[in-house]
Amino acid sequence: MDALRRFLAILGADLRQRSRSPKFWIVLLAVGAASWWSFPPVTADYLTVSVANGERGRYSSAWIGLVLAMVHGVMLSLAGFYLVRGTLARDLETRVWQLLVATPMTRRGFLLAKWASHLVVMGLMLGAGVLVGLVAQWLRAEDARLDLVELIKPLVVLTLPSLALTCALAIWFDLVPGLRRSAGNVLFFVIWMTMTGVGISQWDPRENPESRGSWMSDPNGVSLVMRDLTRLRPPQAEDVGFSLNVGSQALEGRAPELFDWTVWPMQARDLGGRLVWFGLALGLVLAAVPVLDRFAARSSAETVRARLGGRRLRWLDRLLAPLRALPLGALMAVELLQVLRRRAWWWWIAALVFAGMQLFAPEKGLQVAVIGAWVLWLDVFSRLALRETEHGTAALVLSAPGMRWRLLAARLATALLLGWGAVLPALLRTAGSDTMVFQALLAAGASLALWGLALAVCLRVSRPFELVLLMLAYVGLQDGGPLALVTAPQWALGVHLLGLAPAIALLALGWIRMTAPERGRRGELTPTRLEAGAA
């Protein structure tokens, strides 16, 4: 009973801290809005979860539960990682862990409580989706019969194991010092893309579902749903495009074809496969217990210093010497030195490879190189404005006369310089040969720099911008979205130009709010509060 009380105390404290943040409620409302978007009326020109070319189930309890499981399974398994991670890293970085280990609490109980806290947060998001789904079933009125078992079953069987695995990975990424920051965010995005794509790519709807060992499925359970929908609607020989679409599918003026889906015919072996994924997540959490003390003794800052100790890069001093003679040049030189001296050897190799591709690769390779070059600067765009927040030096730095706006101007100029400098070879290549691409590159570099700073000062964390940029990079590699600068330069140019004014406004307002002296008296800029919120 004592162990249970300690477990519940840690869990409750973690949940109270999360729920007191306005960001938590903003995300909860956003999940509710995304859930409502997932149930378009029959007159809408799009579908979110559909079969083949514009078919979906009528809005019965079973189909609504399946839609929520697919949309939330994909959405929360990615975005949820960036939402829940940071609580364990905060305890380690702020030395709260040293107090906790002096109590009767066990290491296993501590990690399980953190994992359970992550899952409860995810469960609250799912609960918001369920409420929206019930309202949608009542308002759409395509099937008025309410079946709570069929509504909840896909969420428990399909989505819960996926989210449990995401929460377990969040524990590990907070624990390992080298993965607590932007590098970990990028790595998780790659892992998520791999887990999502590999299992689905191995599914062929033309094969007999009974002959395949599909019970294990992929982490999100998408292949199970594809198998059962294939049983309902067997693909014809000429039906090459049969698939399960999760996302926005345009109907282009056509009316959707509706079919009945009142029961999800789950099999016992399917439940066993989903339990395997849940057990894997639990095993990952327990596997972190033996290494908890070792990793807890090392902060991410100590790891960076150990990895980069002795690296002077003296040639940078000579290179940046002319910059010091310009207005704000001394501050910019310091910012650039701080940024560049933290780059690892592999980063410089990758930057040289992308620079060469920008000069000599064909159009597709040029777009890949440009996106890759900006992703290399991901941590700078997202964290440049948060240095005082992360190190607790705001009260000291901002005490210098006129430093408040000089520091913002220097960081803005530094971010713009890095945003354009990352694609300098591409700018030189397109300056005379393709004016539209040249202008799109300039606008995109400025847009990324401004939005990185703006979201950082408004939200005080780096993860939202990192997630957005990674998603845009993935879509851009598929020749879509605002980073399709080579394949659709005119559209991309317009999007980035439209985004410049809002980014500047948010940056100014966020910086005023973050550095206002009256807020400092309320404790917002004190080192203790800043260190506590840095993770």
| Pair of tokens at residue 51 | 């079969």
> How far is the C-alpha of 405 from the C-alpha of 512, rounded, in Å?
9
Residue with tokens 């330069």: 489
Q: Which segment of 108-122, 328-342, 365-379 scores lowest on mean pLDDT?
A: 328-342
Do residues 209 and 227 lie in contact, with contact meaning Cβ atoms separated by under 8 Å? yes
Residue 216 per-residue DSSP state: S
The mean pLDDT of 313-328, rounded to a whole number, is 75
On the question of pLDDT at 453 being above 90, the answer is: yes
Q: Which segment of 177-191, 233-247, 274-288, 464-478 scores lowest on mean pLDDT?
A: 233-247
> How far is the C-alpha of 205 from the C-alpha of 168, rounded, in Å?
32
Domain ranges of the chain: 2-301, 343-534
Phi, psi of 237 (to 5 degrees): -60, -35
Do residues 272 and 220 lie in contact, with contact meaning Cβ atoms separated by under 8 Å? no
Do residues 178 and 304 lie in contact, with contact meaning Cβ atoms separated by under 8 Å? no
How much is the pLDDT for 312? 58
The mean pLDDT of 342-359, rounded to a whole number, is 90
How much is the pLDDT for 233? 62
Do residues 292 and 111 lie in contact, with contact meaning Cβ atoms separated by under 8 Å? yes
Do residues 197 and 153 lie in contact, with contact meaning Cβ atoms separated by under 8 Å? no
Q: Is the dihedral of CA 86, 89, 91, 95 positive or negative?
A: negative
> How far is the C-alpha of 306 from the C-alpha of 312, rounded, in Å?
14
pLDDT tens per residue, range 478-531 = 888 899 898 889 999 999 999 999 999 999 998 888 877 644 433 343 333 333
Mean of pLDDT over the chain: 81
- Which range among 6-10, 96-100, 242-246 has the greatest average pLDDT? 6-10
Cα-based distances in Å from 105 to 2, 288, 294:
9, 16, 17
> How far is the C-alpha of 272 from the C-alpha of 229, rounded, in Å?
20
How much is the pLDDT for 499? 92
Do residues 38 and 68 lie in contact, with contact meaning Cβ atoms separated by under 8 Å? yes
On the question of pLDDT at 11 being above 70, the answer is: yes
Amino acid at 189: F
How much is the pLDDT for 217? 76
State how beta strands 244-250 and 257-259 pair.
unpaired
How much is the pLDDT for 518? 47
The mean pLDDT of 21-49, rounded to a whole number, is 85
> How far is the C-alpha of 218 from the C-alpha of 73, rounded, in Å?
11
How much is the pLDDT for 214? 60
Q: Which segment of 5-19, 178-192, 272-286, 310-324 scores lowest on mean pLDDT?
A: 310-324
Q: Is 26 helix (H, G, I), strand (E, B) or coil?
A: helix
Give the residue, 194 or 366, on which the prediction is more confident: 366
Q: Exposed, middle or buried by CB within 10 Å (0-12, 13-18, 19+), for 121?
A: buried
pLDDT tens per residue, range 397-421 = 777 777 888 888 888 999 999 999 9
How much is the pLDDT for 120? 92
**Closest Cα to residue 249, out of 47, 40, 71, 480?**
47
The mean pLDDT of 217-224, rounded to a whole number, is 81
On the question of pLDDT at 364 being above 70, the answer is: yes
How much is the pLDDT for 201? 58
Q: Is 327 helix (H, G, I), strand (E, B) or coil?
A: coil
Q: Which segment of 138-142, 294-298, 458-462 scores lowest on mean pLDDT?
A: 294-298
How much is the pLDDT for 203? 55
End-to-end CA distance of the chain: 32
On the question of pLDDT at 450 being above 90, the answer is: yes
| Pair of tokens at residue 373 | 């070059």
